[in-house]
Structure 1
Amino acid sequence: MAQVDGPPASAAPGQPCVSKLVLLGSGSVGKSSLALRYVKQDFKTVLPTVGCAFFTKVVDVGASSLKLEIWDTAGQEKYHSVCHLYFRGANAALLVYDITQKGSFHRAQQWLAELEKEFAPGEVVVMLVGNKTDLGEEREVTVQEGKEFAESKGLLFMETSAKLGWQVCEAFAAVAHELLQRHKAGAGPTLPGGDAVDLNSGPARQVKCCAH
């Protein structure tokens, strides 16, 4: 089995610090598509992930750099016992749901409960992501529902469209920014409990993340 413990969020002088980010959520919510869009600036129909796929991306935030090791976990229930291992040692997580599938929103909440069993409050940076905004006419989960749940748990929150590339870069960039802030602060909690950061409005952070 592949090594499941993430590397420490530190690096040699002059090298980007490394952080492990896991994508969690039901099958077919677009986790692989989000990773592919972010890392390769591409979108295509992909087969369901088997076990876990792996991507890397170096993000520049001001004068600092962060290497994200992105672990894309399978969403099917038959892989659940395996995927549970992969988020050990994670520094951040994207909890992804499909805005057109209410059940996937509930499943994202269950994944958060799984994370809470492994990590102390504030130990990992967690963002709730509502994907597939390009299918807005089929929406079953409102923006307000997503935002309110994120607020109740102190999560970052954003809606995205992997197909259109809408806010995908911004979602990963916001997580990278929080990880670097945590690293600079000595790995302390980055978000006050109960306060969500809604990233769907307002100016985007100045983070270079989408260059080829």
Structure 2
Amino acid sequence: MSKKQGGCCGNDAKPSDPDRRSVIVDSADSRGKLEKGVKLVLLGDMNTGKTCIASRLVRNEFGPTDSTIGAAFLVKNITLDNGVNVKLEIWDTAGQERYRSLTPMYYRGASAAVIVYDITKKHTFETLKKWVSELQKQASPNLILALAGNKVDLPNREVQVDEVSRYISELGDVIFFETSAQTGYNVNELFNEICRKIVETYK
């Protein structure tokens, strides 16, 4: 996955140059939006580990959790290697079917969505495909989409990486990581990559 890096202006650039002024304004405006808060939504079947992933990211904790009712709200500030700070406003949605009708109001206006499935339960990956279809039809066309295959610390895998890779090849530009909320494996990496994509979009 390619990553674009911004260039630097030389010291000989004149402050009165209108093009330079616009670059400065655009950069400051983008940073302001990123630091003010960017909406991200977690989707997926119940018991796939959405809440545990959020807890690992925000508090670096793992433990038993109650089923989410409606949605939970968390905030995480992530500073990228280039020094840009992104404030993620995370909506952790309930996976139970009875809350399904509420979910559109959480992904509406979101900059990114993470759909979580359990690698030990094939049916959760099938549900993921339904979420992708719904987002393609109803969410913003600029939505950054990420797939997280959670619980790689467990045996008895039912969803193979090559199956997911084939599916992603049909979708196009999608972020994909296998994760473990229990060990923390790839959790930070997943959200760092999402933030890099968000920064590119804002540029």
Find out whether 1:22 has 2:35 as its counterpart.
Answer: no
Superposition deviation, residue 44 in structure 1: 0.5
Q: Which runs of 5+ in 2 are unaligned?
A: 1-28
Is residue 17–residue 65 contact of structure 1 (8 Å, CA) maintained in 2?
A: no
DSSP-derived class of the 2:153 partner: helix
Is residue 25–residue 97 contact of structure 1 (8 Å, CA) maintained in 2?
A: yes
AA matched with 2:88 = L
Give the aligned partner of residue 38 of structure 1.
Answer: 57
AA matched with 2:91 = W
DSSP-derived class of the 1:100 partner: coil
Q: Which runs of 5+ in 1 are unaligned?
A: 1-8, 185-212
Give the aligned partner of residue 164 of structure 1.
Answer: 183
Higher helix content, 1 or 2: 2
Bigger Rg, structure 1 or 2 = 2
Give the aligned partner of residue 158 of structure 2.
Answer: 140
For residue 108 of structure 1, the aligned residue among 125, 128, 141 is: 128
CA–CA distance in structure 2, aligned partners of residues 45 and 55 of structure 1: 17
Superposition deviation, residue 17 in structure 1: 4.6
TM-score normalized by the length of structure 1: 0.78
TM-score normalized by the length of structure 2: 0.81
Superposition deviation, residue 120 in structure 1: 5.0
Cα deviations by residue, 1:93-125 (Å, 9 ceiling, x for unpaired): 00110000100000011011111121354x111
Cα deviations by residue, 1:103-157 (Å, 9 ceiling, x for unpaired): 0000011011111121354x1110111000011x211000111122122112111
For residue 167 of structure 2, the aligned residue among 136, 141, 149 is: 149
Find out whether 1:56 has 2:75 as its counterpart.
Answer: yes
Superposition deviation, residue 76 in structure 1: 0.5
RMSD over aligned Cα atoms:
1.6
CA–CA distance in structure 1, aligned partners of residues 140 and 43 of structure 2: 18
- State the identity as a percent: 41
